[in-house]
Chain A
Amino acid sequence: MWRQVLALVIKELLAVLRDPKSRMVLIGPPLIQLVVFGYAATFDLNHVPMAVYNQDSSQASRELVAHFAGSPTFRVVAMLRSGRHIDTLIDSRQAQLVLVIDRRFTRDLLTRRPAPVQAIVDGRNSNTALLIEGYANTILTDFALRWGRAHGGPAPPAVLDTRALYNPTLSSRWFIVPGIVALLTQVVTLLVVGLSVARERETGTFDQLLVTPMRPVDILLGKGLPGLLIGVLEASAIIAAAVWWFDVPLRGGLLALYFGLLLFVIAVTGIGLMISSLVSTQQQALLGAFLFMVPSVILSGFATPIANMPAWVQDLTLVNPMRYFLVIVRAVFLEGAGVAALVSQEWPMAAIGAVSLVAATWLFRRRAI
């Protein structure tokens, strides 16, 4: 029996590798997605255009503006002479932040009254708005503390000593790139497994296969294993790119990473086989894969945290294998987590894998003969 399965696995791999089109599917889109995601998907802000309306024009206010101009986050694009154009600048998106320094700025500083500074932010992109506000606050506070000290003011009772664990420079890329490992592994495995039976049904070879003495379980194994193999290889290539091309640190062990990967690929293969056994054309298979993939990526925490979702949506994510693997891959890459520390993520994937494989076998048996 294993000989037949092996023959089917070899046939499946040959079919994928000999056809230039499917070879492209394995290499082209993943490469493009890796590059595009790696470079384009960033929450980091730099060179944010800002304008300053400085009504004070004193040493102190100029110093404050210099702080902003010197920061890599901001780029001062306009110095305003009147307050009339502030809203226009924001509305037309020429500036995302306008800093308004009041006429009383220096006077209030010297008399130890809170000196008024206004920060007007474009809220159309709320995430950017929040980040801009955060950056501006940091610069303003930093300036204020320094000025206070230099002019003999009281020291604050306590200051923040902030430090980010695992990702000290808070680079988005370190967050996104390991996520791509999960994303692309899912896409490729699902397509290879989900389309393979449909392709045979379309060309008529599936009947040919069913009249051989192979049992449905053998066929299922023969269809699933190549997807598993290709998924793991694809993931390895992206892991290598993450480490050597994008310089994301791999702090944990390969054992933890590959153990999680294997569970994930098994779960995805099970789902792919379920799609395979339900559809009869490649078009339906593609549609099925798409219908699974989109919610699964969106509700995985790939780009936005699961914790921000409404409670009922969070409950839905519990059946999404990608959700667990994303935690594992990021934890292993950045936190250096080991196999044991990730049990809470590993067993749900194993459970999803077991359920989907059993379901696929059942569906397959029902349809095949």
Chain B
Amino acid sequence: MPAAADPVPALRCAGLRRRFRIGRRVVVALDDIDVSVARGGITGLIGADGAGKTTLMRLAAGLLQPDAGRIEVLGIDVAREPLKVQTRVGYMPQHFGLYEDLSVRENLDLYADLQGVLPAQRPARYAELLHMTGLGPFTARMAGRLSGGMKQKLGLACTLLQPPELLLLDEPTVGVDPVSRRELWQIIDHLTRNLDATVLFSTAYLDEAERCDTVLVLHEGRLLASGPPREIAAGMDGRSFRATAALGRRQLQARLAGLPWVVDAVIQGGGVRVVTQAGASPDPATMRPAAADVRFVPVPPRFEDGLVARLRAESGRDAAAPGGMAAGDAGVVASPPGADDDIIVVEHLTRRFGLFAAVDDISFRVRRGEIFGLLGANGAGKSTTFRMLCGLLPPSSGRLRVAGFDLRNAAAPARGRIGYMAQKFSLYGDLSVAQNLRFFASAYRLHGARRTARMAWAIREFDLAAMLEATARDLPLGFKQRLALACALMHEPDILFLDEPTSGVDPLARREFWRRINALAEAGVTVLVTTHFMEEAEYCDRLVIMAQGRVLAAGEPEAIKAAARGANRPDPTMEDAFIAVIEAADKRTLAA
């Protein structure tokens, strides 16, 4: 990497360390970071929630003081001269730092004043930025009434008013729809390629890493890897395969995941993407039970393969353990799957808030034992649909049945058949792990020996024994996710509702989580899941894509992807398919 040789790198950290005190607890946000980022190009800061991304961004922007070590931006010691740094960098915080009760134009005026853009320069600069972001027609609109993608672009425009030498963007793509995400990337490419800016970009989406020139991978406050993404994936040459077999992708994945020579096995399309141990080649003979017809096709390695391999090495965990819950050992006894047994029926469902239709005349059916996905950006109507299905929100019109009941009018016992895991893993933060388990068991009417047995099951299955007395608030995110799932499964529900179950957790925790979900589905539990991770959509049996309260497409992931296949997109990803669906819908609206 040429960074080390660059006399004045964009960012240089040496022995950088930063701790936070939360109550009586001390959290190490960044631990001994040594890194140098050259000027020019895009640097991605990759990591899960709590990895230290935002802390590093804030340290670079001069908003935090390091506890130890040194951080230099454009050759300036940030701790010593924050103001000097701030006049040369642009920084967009999470949530974009906009005043929601000011219009687009007023936000631009404010930041132009604050950044010292002379009035004479403004008309030209505004015109350029408004053109670039496509916000031209909306200058009079209040920032609070813009969509997530438009807010993101306005936030970016505000930081670009005085062209910065280094642009710091803290998670600009979280919760933003794929179309806006793609547009943001076009802007960033334009900035770095044509205007010589340097961009430091933090994200939890691994697929974005491949677009960066350099990536810094943070994991639990430490720098796990740095360099060009291809370099990180380079060691993976000849280790990535696509496996297919007649027995079905989920079964296949379950059998592959436990094998010693497998580092990673995730469902992708109709098959399973497998990453082998260094030096090992696929060995179908070791599979138990055997699958004779399994075929392995080599595929080019991607960044995520390299990252997962490193994380595995780091954590010392193999692909199966813990929670390698085999099908049938899910501890859940559900009715066997039936062919045309629709356990969830949604017909012409609409929910209005005032004049605004958050969910607008949607219909779909979910079969027993299926993993069914609701895919969409923030504000697409996923959560509203979800809350209606769980009986948390009455529909304005339309019909919905869950396991034969309308949960809104159904007696309490009907609710005993569903499990629910809310966004952000809602647990009682002040209670200990054991107290949380006991409370949810009691709330689901378990008591006596039965409750004891189920608690023991949860502690064993989710590997909670070591943390029983810990306060839930203090748990690491992955642990919280496990505990939340344990609580939702206490009463052996037939149907499991998962609302954004993996947002923010690291790739290993996500894999572990999905393996459990797969096992549950194999055991006949119906799973309804919302997500904005496009690749997670691949794990679903069927899914619907939602935007602006409507269902734009429904079906199996492969079918949805196939519909987007075209001359310029021979092998579309889920994201490509998603964008194609949205663009098609926009075209229809325009035509009509």
Interface residues of A (CB under 8 A from B): 3-4, 6-8, 10-11, 14-15, 18-20, 22, 203-205, 207-215, 369
CB-CB < 8 A to B139: which residues of A?
A: none
Question: Are B412 and A205 touching (Cβ within 8 A)?
Answer: no
Give chain B interface residues in 429-446, CB to chain A under 8 Å: 429-432, 435, 438-440, 442-445
**Chain A proximity of B366: nearest CB distance (Å):** 17
Is B420 an interface position by the 8 A CB rule? yes
Question: Are A203 and B420 touching (Cβ within 8 A)?
Answer: no
Question: Are B420 and A208 touching (Cβ within 8 A)?
Answer: yes
Is B354 an interface position by the 8 A CB rule? no
Is B312 an interface position by the 8 A CB rule? no
Question: Are B430 and A19 touching (Cβ within 8 A)?
Answer: yes
Known contacts A8-B443, A212-B415, A207 near B394 by CB under 8 Å: no
Is B286 an interface position by the 8 A CB rule? no
Is B427 an interface position by the 8 A CB rule? yes
Known contacts A8-B443, A204-B422, A211 near B390 by CB under 8 Å: yes
**Chain B proximity of A12: nearest CB distance (Å):** 10
Q: Give Cα A6–Cα B445 distance, bound, in whole angstroms.
A: 11
In this complex, how many residues of chain B approach chain A with their Cβ under 8 Å: the count is: 35
Is B316 an interface position by the 8 A CB rule? no
Known contacts A14-B431, A213-B412, A369-B408, A205 near B426 by CB under 8 Å: yes
Judged by DSSP, the binding face of A is helix
Q: Give Cα A265–Cα B429 distance, bound, in whole angstroms.
A: 28
CB-CB < 8 A to A11: which residues of B?
A: 428, 431, 435, 439
Other A-B pairs beyond A3-B442, A3-B445, A11-B439, 4, CB < 8 Å: A4-B443, A7-B438, A15-B428, A204-B426
Chain A residue at smallest Cβ distance from B408:
A369
CB-CB < 8 A to A15: which residues of B?
A: 428, 430-431
Question: Are B423 and A204 touching (Cβ within 8 A)?
Answer: yes
Question: Are A207 and B430 touching (Cβ within 8 A)?
Answer: no
Give chain B interface residues in 490-532, CB to chain A under 8 Å: 497
**Chain A proximity of B493: nearest CB distance (Å):** 10
**Chain B proximity of A256: nearest CB distance (Å):** 37
Q: Give Cα A216–Cα B435 distance, bound, in whole angstroms.
A: 22
CB-CB < 8 A to A212: which residues of B?
A: 415-416, 440, 443-444
**Chain B proximity of A124: nearest CB distance (Å):** 44
Chain A residue at smallest Cβ distance from B444:
A212
Chain A residue at smallest Cβ distance from B386:
A207
Q: Give Cα A215–Cα B413 distance, bound, in whole angstroms.
A: 10
CB-CB < 8 A to B487: which residues of A?
A: 208
Interface residues of B (CB under 8 A from A): 23, 387, 390-392, 394, 408, 412-413, 415-416, 418, 420, 422-424, 426-432, 435, 438-440, 442-445, 447, 471, 487, 497
Q: Give Cα A205–Cα B425 distance, bound, in whole angstroms.
A: 9
CB-CB < 8 A to A215: which residues of B?
A: 412
Q: Give Cα A6–Cα B442 distance, bound, in whole angstroms.
A: 9
5 contacts between A and B (CB under 8 A): A8-B443, A15-B431, A207-B422, A211-B392, A211-B497
CB-CB < 8 A to A3: which residues of B?
A: 442, 445, 447
Question: Are B422 and A205 touching (Cβ within 8 A)?
Answer: yes
Closest 7 CB pairs of A and B: A7-B442, A204-B426, A213-B412, A212-B443, A211-B420, A19-B430, A205-B426
Question: Are B391 and A208 touching (Cβ within 8 A)?
Answer: no
Tell me which of A14, A208, A210 contacts B430 (CB under 8 A): A14
CB-CB < 8 A to A214: which residues of B?
A: 412, 443
Chain A residue at smallest Cβ distance from B426:
A204
CB-CB < 8 A to B435: which residues of A?
A: 11, 14
Chain A residue at smallest Cβ distance from B423:
A204
Chain A residue at smallest Cβ distance from B436:
A11
Known contacts A205-B422, A212-B444, A213-B416, A369 near B431 by CB under 8 Å: no
Known contacts A212-B443, A214-B443, A215-B412, A207 near B426 by CB under 8 Å: yes
Known contacts A11-B435, A19-B430, A213 near B413 by CB under 8 Å: yes
Question: Are A211 and B415 touching (Cβ within 8 A)?
Answer: yes
Q: Give Cα A18–Cα B23 distance, bound, in whole angstroms.
A: 13
Question: Are B429 and A203 touching (Cβ within 8 A)?
Answer: yes
Question: Are B392 and A4 touching (Cβ within 8 A)?
Answer: no
Q: Give Cα A261–Cα B425 distance, bound, in whole angstroms.
A: 40
**Chain B proximity of A132: nearest CB distance (Å):** 53
**Chain A proximity of B537: nearest CB distance (Å):** 24
Known contacts A11-B439, A213-B412, A205 near B424 by CB under 8 Å: no
Tell me which of A7, A18, A203, A210 contacts B439 (CB under 8 A): A7
Chain A residue at smallest Cβ distance from B394:
A369
**Chain B proximity of A22: nearest CB distance (Å):** 8
Question: Are A4 and B431 touching (Cβ within 8 A)?
Answer: no
Q: Give Cα A209–Cα B426 distance, bound, in whole angstroms.
A: 10
Question: Are A207 and B420 touching (Cβ within 8 A)?
Answer: yes
Q: Give Cα A84–Cα B440 distance, bound, in whole angstroms.
A: 81
CB-CB < 8 A to A19: which residues of B?
A: 430
Q: Give Cα A235–Cα B69 distance, bound, in whole angstroms.
A: 54
Q: Give Cα A214–Cα B471 distance, bound, in whole angstroms.
A: 25
Q: Give Cα A11–Cα B435 distance, bound, in whole angstroms.
A: 8
Q: Give Cα A6–Cα B447 distance, bound, in whole angstroms.
A: 12
CB-CB < 8 A to B429: which residues of A?
A: 203
Question: Are B415 and A213 touching (Cβ within 8 A)?
Answer: yes
CB-CB < 8 A to A204: which residues of B?
A: 422-424, 426
Tell me which of A7, A14, A208 contacts B426 (CB under 8 A): A208
**Chain A proximity of B420: nearest CB distance (Å):** 4
**Chain B proximity of A9: nearest CB distance (Å):** 11
CB-CB < 8 A to B392: which residues of A?
A: 207, 210-211, 369
Question: Are A7 and B431 touching (Cβ within 8 A)?
Answer: no
CB-CB < 8 A to B445: which residues of A?
A: 3-4, 213
Question: Are A207 and B387 touching (Cβ within 8 A)?
Answer: yes
**Chain A proximity of B151: nearest CB distance (Å):** 22
CB-CB < 8 A to B430: which residues of A?
A: 14-15, 18-19, 22
Q: Give Cα A2–Cα B430 distance, bound, in whole angstroms.
A: 23
CB-CB < 8 A to A22: which residues of B?
A: 430
Q: Give Cα A20–Cα B423 distance, bound, in whole angstroms.
A: 26
CB-CB < 8 A to B422: which residues of A?
A: 204-205, 207-208
Question: Are B471 and A18 touching (Cβ within 8 A)?
Answer: yes
Question: Are B387 and A205 touching (Cβ within 8 A)?
Answer: no
Q: Give Cα A11–Cα B487 distance, bound, in whole angstroms.
A: 14
**Chain B proximity of A214: nearest CB distance (Å):** 6
Tell me which of B418, B428, B438 contacts A211 (CB under 8 A): B418
**Chain B proximity of A21: nearest CB distance (Å):** 9
CB-CB < 8 A to A208: which residues of B?
A: 420, 422, 426, 440, 487
**Chain B proximity of A23: nearest CB distance (Å):** 10
Question: Are B426 and A203 touching (Cβ within 8 A)?
Answer: yes
Q: Give Cα A208–Cα B536 distance, bound, in whole angstroms.
A: 24
Q: Give Cα A204–Cα B423 distance, bound, in whole angstroms.
A: 7
Which of A6, A22, A369 is packed against the most chain B CB atoms within 10 Å?
A369
Q: Give Cα A212–Cα B471 distance, bound, in whole angstroms.
A: 23
Q: Give Cα A207–Cα B420 distance, bound, in whole angstroms.
A: 9
Question: Are A4 and B424 touching (Cβ within 8 A)?
Answer: no
Tell me which of B415, B418, B442 contacts A4 (CB under 8 A): B442
Chain B residue at smallest Cβ distance from A204:
B426
**Chain A proximity of B378: nearest CB distance (Å):** 16
Question: Are A20 and B412 touching (Cβ within 8 A)?
Answer: no
Chain B residue at smallest Cβ distance from A368:
B392
CB-CB < 8 A to A14: which residues of B?
A: 430-431, 435
CB-CB < 8 A to B438: which residues of A?
A: 7
Q: Give Cα A142–Cα B16 distance, bound, in whole angstroms.
A: 83
CB-CB < 8 A to A8: which residues of B?
A: 439, 443
CB-CB < 8 A to A210: which residues of B?
A: 391-392
**Chain A proximity of B488: nearest CB distance (Å):** 8
Q: Give Cα A119–Cα B410 distance, bound, in whole angstroms.
A: 79
Q: Give Cα A8–Cα B439 distance, bound, in whole angstroms.
A: 7
Q: Give Cα A203–Cα B423 distance, bound, in whole angstroms.
A: 10
**Chain A proximity of B464: nearest CB distance (Å):** 18
Q: Give Cα A249–Cα B285 distance, bound, in whole angstroms.
A: 89
Q: Give Cα A213–Cα B493 distance, bound, in whole angstroms.
A: 12
CB-CB < 8 A to A211: which residues of B?
A: 390-392, 415, 418, 420, 497
CB-CB < 8 A to A7: which residues of B?
A: 438-439, 442-443
CB-CB < 8 A to B428: which residues of A?
A: 11, 15, 203, 205
